[in-house]
Amino acid sequence: MDDKDLLNIIAIDDNGLILTQLKLLLSQSYHVNFSGFTNGPDALSFLKQHPTDLIFLDLNMPGMDGIEVLRHLSDINISASIVLLSGEDNNIIKMAKNLAQMRNLNVIIGIDKPITAGQIKQLIESLFKLPHHKSSHLTQRAFNLEELKTAIEAEQMCLYLQPKVTLSNEEVIGAEFLVRWNHPEFGVLSPFYFIDLIEHSDLVHDFSILVVKEAFEFIEQHFELLKSLTFNINLSVKNLEDLKLPERLAELASTYNVPTDMIVFEVTESLLIENLTQSLDVLLRLRLKGFSLSIDDFGTGYSSIKQLSQIPFCELKLDRCFIHDCAIDTDKQAIIEATAALAQNLNLKVVAEGIEQQQDLVFLGKYNIDYGQGYLFALPLEKLNFLKSIESQTNYNTQSRQALLRG
């Protein structure tokens, strides 16, 4: 490893011997900047000031325990990879990992103590394969509202497309529009770095309309190629406070000649029920305009079956925290099976998000999961690359039909 591969690592464990062991194991083979802490508050103070790539966190500590530390890490938007350490039951580690993922933390593994040199080697090698490692120095970078406004005015915000495929034959049947910030200094940034700021500002309504306009313009420009697909666009729950939203979106669809039945608007379950009556008013009228609706990150919020049946959704998206390792995790399997049955009873299509492993795809195929998204099929694509992938699929399908006709 050279200087650019210096790893910033911290460990939080009340046992000083564990900290010493970790430091020795890491320093033997890797170029690391290691800091150890015997309590959560000191570690959190350090993390607010220093970029960090990897955090080792003990779950069972006196004072502030590991679960509390995870909550605070989420509050300060830590993007570092996290390894959970514990001498507790494996089920506790698994549930703590799931909780962390629900808090949008990047927990890569949970490990029983004591940790071994072989486990360290696997961890470090996997860390350098992760796409976010290059952005580790952005971990603590907080952008402000003026920077965002400048970025929007300079047209630095752009749309990528995450293909959505049928699980039966992996054919692309649509895509989800995803916002990225093409930052002049830091490169392409995910919404992790800016979406919360937009959500909690007066930018949220105009920004959402801007995204819809760009999406509709793209569809209009390439309509002949894209007309058989559907496209998902995320709405903020704050957008549902605007009672005129259905009319505004329908007018935009008309302006750009986009059939409303090509568009699926997504809303996140965990925020939806805060003002259910007004949300339902807007959502019902979106359906009347011909748009479809999807409930995103299903399973991470608190909506009841009754509430789910009251809202006119067409699609349910299973959160990625239930998908990863579902082939070997019996708890996740039970959740997926129950959700698939619920969706079938409510006549909803099911999308599995974050599919990255072939074994998980095989398992999902057993439970009437209709569609999938994830790195196993494709990374989020720039517009031009998405068009090329659809052209390739269209040409292949045409050639296959011609071959069948020829016998």
List pLDDT tens digits, range 276-314: 778 889 999 999 999 999 988 776 555 556 667 778 899
- Please tell me whether residues 176 and 72 are part of one structural domain: no
| Neighbour tally for 154: CB within 10 Å | 10
Q: pLDDT-derived band of residue 11, with 50, 70 and 90 as boundaries?
A: very high
Pairing status of strand 187-189 against strand 172-183: antiparallel
Distance CA 97, CA 83 (A): 9
Residue 319 lies inside a defined structural domain of this protein: no
List pLDDT tens digits, range 61-76: 999 999 999 999 998 8
Q: What's the CATH code of the domain at 271? A: 3.20.20.450
Residue 341 lies inside a defined structural domain of this protein: no
pLDDT of 174 over the 50 cut: yes
CA–CA distance from 195 to each of 50, 75, 161, 243, 314 (Å)? Answer: 22, 14, 17, 23, 25
- Please tell me whether residues 152 and 42 are part of one structural domain: no
Distance CA 162, CA 349 (A): 18
Query: Domain limits at 177?
Result: 145-313+377-398
Residue 225 lies inside a defined structural domain of this protein: yes
Q: pLDDT-derived band of residue 386, with 50, 70 and 90 as boundaries?
A: very high
- Please tell me whether residues 62 and 44 are part of one structural domain: yes
Q: What is the pLDDT of residue 5?
A: 54
Q: What is the pLDDT of residue 84?
A: 92
pTM: 0.72
Give long-range contacts, CB 8 A cutoff, 24+ apart: 357-360: 357/324, 357/325, 357/327, 359/327, 359/328, 360/323, 360/324, 360/325, 360/326, 360/327
pLDDT of 158 over the 90 cut: yes
Give long-range contacts, CB 8 A cutoff, 24+ apart: 42-47: 43/10, 43/12, 43/69, 44/69, 44/72, 44/73, 44/76, 46/10, 47/10, 47/73, 47/76, 47/78, 47/140
- Across 227-231, 267-271, 323-327, 376-380, the highest mean pLDDT is recorded for 227-231
pLDDT of 1 over the 50 cut: no
- Please tell me whether residues 275 and 157 are part of one structural domain: yes
pLDDT (average), residues 264-282: 78
* Of 104, 138, 172, the domain-final residue: 138
- Please tell me whether residues 96 and 66 are part of one structural domain: yes
List pLDDT tens digits, range 40-50: 999 999 999 88
pLDDT of 352 over the 80 cut: yes
* Of 77, 106, 138, the domain-final residue: 138
Residue 110 lies inside a defined structural domain of this protein: yes
Residue 335 lies inside a defined structural domain of this protein: no
Q: pLDDT-derived band of residue 106, with 50, 70 and 90 as boundaries?
A: confident
Mean pLDDT of all residues belonging to the chain: 86
* Of 82, 105, 138, the domain-final residue: 138
Picking from 170, 165, 260, 167, the residue whose alpha carbon sits closest to that of residue 212 is 260
- Please tell me whether residues 169 and 295 are part of one structural domain: yes
pLDDT of 335 over the 60 cut: yes
Domain count for the chain, please give it. Answer: 2
Q: What's the CATH code of the domain at 114? A: 3.40.50.2300
